[in-house]
Amino acid sequence: MRASALGPVCALLLLLLEPLHCGDEVTSSTVNPCCYFPCQHGGVCVRYAEDKYECDCTRTGYYGQNCTIPEFWTRVRGLLKPSPGVVHYILTHFRWLWDIINCSFLREVLMRLVLTVRSNLIPYPPTYNSKYGYLSWESYYNLSYYTRILPPVPEDCPTLLGVKGQAGLPDPELLVEKLLKRRTFRPDPQGSNLMFAFFAQHFTHQFFKTFNHMGVGFTKALAHGVDAGHIYGDNLERQLKLRMHKDGKLKYQLINGEMHLPTVEQAPVRMSYPPGVPPQNQVAIGQEVFGLLPGLGLYATLWLREHNRVCDVLKAEHPTWDDDQLFQTTRLIIIGETIRIVIEEYVQHLSGYLLQLKFDPTLLFNSQFQYGNRIALEFSQLYHWHPLMPDSFLIDGDELSYAQFLFNASVVSHYGVEKLVEAFSKQTAGQIGGGHNINSVVTNVAVRAIKESRQLRVQPFNEYRKRFNLEPYTSFQQFTDNEEIAAALEEFYGDIDTLEFYPALMLEKTRPAAIFGESMVEMGAPFSLKGLLGNPICSPEYWKPSTFGGKVGFDIVNSATLKKLVCQNTRTCPYISFRKQDARLPEFFSSPSHSLLNKPVSEDTNMDIL
Ligand code: HEM
Ligand SMILES: *[C@@H]1O[C@H](CO)[C@@H](O)[C@H](O)[C@H]1NC(C)=O
Ligand SMILES: *[C@@H]1O[C@H](CO)[C@@H](O)[C@H](O)[C@H]1NC(C)=O
Ligand SMILES: *[C@@H]1O[C@H](CO)[C@@H](O)[C@H](O)[C@H]1NC(C)=O
Ligand SMILES: *[C@@H]1O[C@H](CO)[C@@H](O)[C@H](O)[C@H]1NC(C)=O
């Protein structure tokens, strides 16, 4: 132990007994032994005496003082298990093989494997939170906290990251300025476009709603998952103000004969706008911050139209149903549609997998899978994908600056849904990983994310690598092949074991021609899939036609696509995609499951009821 690791006791001793040398034993005995993160493979560190700890290795598959010795079957499994890199390589290469697998029972077998392997990494019931680094009823029961996959670094550790990083951590502003701020726009090599970027932001902000008024580490989204609270509000009072109370529908206004979001005058809910914006210029949406970006307003408009369209379909099926039953059942359909689009198009695109992903809850009915979900702080940190944002927004021949785009509710009604969908589908988004790609308008969000993670004592990146079955990095050169970034990190952090979670995810070397690196996928996918399949509608009790108003409603859920979401709710069917057309794998959207949607949508959609 180094002398600079002096605990308060030792410091006091030094003061009182100046001539006495403050020896190693004294110093080490004051450090909480769990600060060394001694327990491996998910073992739980429990402190007994000042300098005594035990690792609880129960059901980790390992034993020994630090849960490092594998049991026999663990050893066998370890020998057979391919590394994440190999699995990813197979899933993204050998097109001929996947063409065969997609059309056979193997598609289901592999999809089940993807779902179980990924979700098994996420504990449910949830474990820790930002206050409790040990299991507690409060942590389980108080939904206002985000949960934590790894407990926070104990308060009494010598440093913010345990015992390493004695020299202190780099200044967040400097870190972002030097390594994350954009120099010139670098497009995503996977071809993600703004339609994808705004979907990401819109979808995730139903469950990432940090509640800073309560303190750091709290959330306002108490449903902890895909509840469509970004459409309906995160509480009943707000929902009731957004509803028409007739036929299950949501309030809307007609502009040029088309359905648009109501204003705050029409649906009096609180929205976050800069001071001085009058209520008639504010749009009313379930998620209070969605007035910020027309891209979010666009998706809010699409889901508003879809909700009201589905209400009509259900009412035709069930003329006796009252407003509330139509509303509630439509909401479940909207949740189902969302999950399908997210898995089969959004995650499909993001993963780059050639395995055709499938949303089918019955795949899990014979495995032990816990329904339920709790959003983790690490998931929220990881999803700060601000590099996606371009330098300006190109719409129908105009170039809008951030100043013109942000908080400008008129953009959606001015251009209309069709033109915006087309524009966002054609404009490429930025690459998330690899550094140097956050537009300066939003660099401050990254700074705040880093500050938040320190306040909440998030463990070092390498501890998360181990938690998600990845080898910890041994050097900055291994971590990134960008020599400038490696050198800067070396200077900022000194020791790879002190590299922080969020900066690491943004700076890790990207996979070849990919949007980000290995860790973002290996850590993000488990949270994502657990959240999607852990939804109550995916459980055996719910997943049946009657839940969704019968066959007609169930069919809507089972055939939902992004394209239908747009084209059943617009007069003309614009070009729509999550991926820029000339990017890698252009044939993706003409795969069989999508091609049937290329037919023009008939006139008898909801638009003619307007
Ligand atoms: C120009 C576009 C964007 C702007 C102006 C913007 C701005 C912001 C701001 C001001 C915050 C709050 C920061 C804080 O209080 O600490 C935030 C949080 C966040 N942003 Fe963005 N953002 C944009 C795009 C995106 C995109 C495309 C994503 C992709 C998923 C994203 C993901 C997030 C996440 C996950 C959070 C944390 C939310 C929470 O914990 O409540 N943002 N953003
Ligand atoms: C367990 O971890 C501690 C702290 O990292 C270390 O000092 C000790 O040698 C380890 N014990 C074994 C048996 O590996
Ligand atoms: C299999 O799925 C992938 C990804 O969706 C796709 O690129 C490929 O064309 C599909 N092949 C067949 C035969 O469906
Ligand atoms: C959750 O914990 C916070 C912080 O201790 C507290 O303010 C809040 O009242 C708790 N919520 C519930 C429902 O107990
Ligand atoms: C809002 O967007 C419109 C285009 O819809 C644009 O003409 C106008 O300049 C923007 N408003 C501001 C304040 O920038």
Q: Which ligand is nearest to the CA of 107?
A: 3
Quick one: tokens of 82? Answer: 């391919």
**Per-residue model confidence as pLDDT tens digits over 263-289:** 999 999 999 999 999 999 999 999 999
Count Cβ atoms below 10 Å from residue 386 Cβ, excluding itself: 22
pLDDT at 298 over 80: yes
C-alpha–C-alpha distance, residues 502 and 309, integer Å: 40
Q: Evaluate: CB of 408 within 6 angstroms of ligand 5.
A: yes
* Mean of pLDDT values over 41-61: 96
- Rounded to a whole number of angstroms, the CA Rg of the chain reads 26
Q: What is the distance in A from the centroid of ligand 3 to the CA of 595? A: 12
107: annotated binding-site residue?
A: no
Q: How confident is the model at residue 29 (pLDDT cuts 50, 70, 90)?
A: low
Q: How far, CA to CA in Å, does 230 sit from each of 304, 371, 437?
A: 11, 22, 28
Strand bridging mode 128-129 / 147-148: antiparallel
Q: What is the distance in A from the centroid of ligand 1 to the CA of 53? A: 40
Q: Which of 145, 232, 252, 383 is catalytic?
A: 383
230 is known as an active-site residue: no
pLDDT at 546 over 50: yes
Give me the pLDDT at residue 582, please: 60
181 contacts: CB under 8 Å, gap ≥ 6: 436, 438, 440, 443
Q: Evaluate: CB of 34 within 6 angstroms of ligand 1.
A: no
pLDDT at 92 over 70: yes
pLDDT at 26 over 50: no
C-alpha–C-alpha distance, residues 320 and 317, integer Å: 9
Count Cβ atoms below 10 Å from residue 447 Cβ, excluding itself: 18
**Per-residue model confidence as pLDDT tens digits over 101-118:** 999 999 999 999 999 999
What one-character-per-residue DSSP string does 103-164 give? TSTHHHHHHHHHHHHHHTTS-SS--EESS-SS--HHHHH-TTBPEESSPPPPTTSSBTTBSS
Dihedral pair phi/psi, residue 71, rounded to 5° = -70, 165
pLDDT at 592 over 50: no
Q: What is the distance in A from the centroid of ligand 4 to the CA of 141? A: 10
Dihedral pair phi/psi, residue 148, rounded to 5° = -130, 135
C-alpha–C-alpha distance, residues 472 and 562, integer Å: 38
Q: Evaluate: CB of 281 within 6 angstroms of ligand 5.
A: no
Classified as helix, coil or strand, 593 is: helix
Q: Is 280 exposed, middle or buried (0-12, 13-18, 19+ CB in 10 A)?
A: exposed
Q: What is the distance in A from the centroid of ligand 3 to the CA of 461? A: 35
383 is known as an active-site residue: yes
Q: Ligand 2: which residue has its CA nearest to atom 13?
A: 65
The pTM score is 0.91
Question: Distance from CA of residue 555 to its chain's centroid?
Answer: 27
Q: How confident is the model at residue 6 (pLDDT cuts 50, 70, 90)?
A: very low
* Mean of pLDDT values over 538-557: 98
Which of the residue ranges 142-156, 356-370, 588-602 would you say has the lowest mean pLDDT? 588-602
* Mean of pLDDT values over 357-379: 97
Q: Ligand 5: which residue has its CA nearest to atom 14?
A: 404
Give me the pLDDT at residue 85, please: 94
pLDDT at 367 over 80: yes
In the chain, what percentage of residues exceed pLDDT 90?
89
Count Cβ atoms below 10 Å from residue 531 Cβ, excluding itself: 23
Which of the residue ranges 16-20, 33-37, 160-164 would you say has the lowest mean pLDDT? 16-20
Question: Distance from CA of residue 11 to its chain's centroid?
Answer: 44
* Mean of pLDDT values over 3-30: 41
Nearest ligand 3 atom to alpha carbon 588 = 7
Quick one: tokens of 570? Answer: 């617009």
230: annotated binding-site residue?
A: no
Mean pLDDT computed over every residue of the chain: 91
Which of the residue ranges 397-406, 437-446, 493-502, 588-597 would you say has the lowest mean pLDDT? 588-597
Q: Evaluate: CB of 575 within 6 angstroms of ligand 2.
A: no
Q: Evaluate: CB of 401 within 6 angstroms of ligand 5.
A: no
**Per-residue model confidence as pLDDT tens digits over 396-416:** 999 999 999 999 989 999 999
* Mean of pLDDT values over 5-26: 38
Q: Which of 205, 224, 307, 349 is catalytic?
A: 205
C-alpha–C-alpha distance, residues 406 and 447, integer Å: 20
Classified as helix, coil or strand, 58 is: coil
Mutate which of 180, 196, 201, 298 for ligand 1 pocket (most atoms within 8 A of beta carbon): 201
Q: Evaluate: CB of 383 within 6 angstroms of ligand 1.
A: yes
Give me the pLDDT at residue 474, please: 98
Q: Hey, what amino acid is at 42?
A: G
Mutate which of 442, 506, 520 for ligand 1 pocket (most atoms within 8 A of beta carbon): 442
pLDDT at 594 over 70: no
pLDDT at 3 over 90: no
Residue identified by tokens 């490696």 is 486
Residue identified by tokens 């009821």 is 609
For the chain, what is the largest distance between any 2 Cα atoms, rounded to a whole number of angstroms? 92
Nearest ligand 1 atom to alpha carbon 452 = 16
In the chain, what percentage of residues exceed pLDDT 70?
90
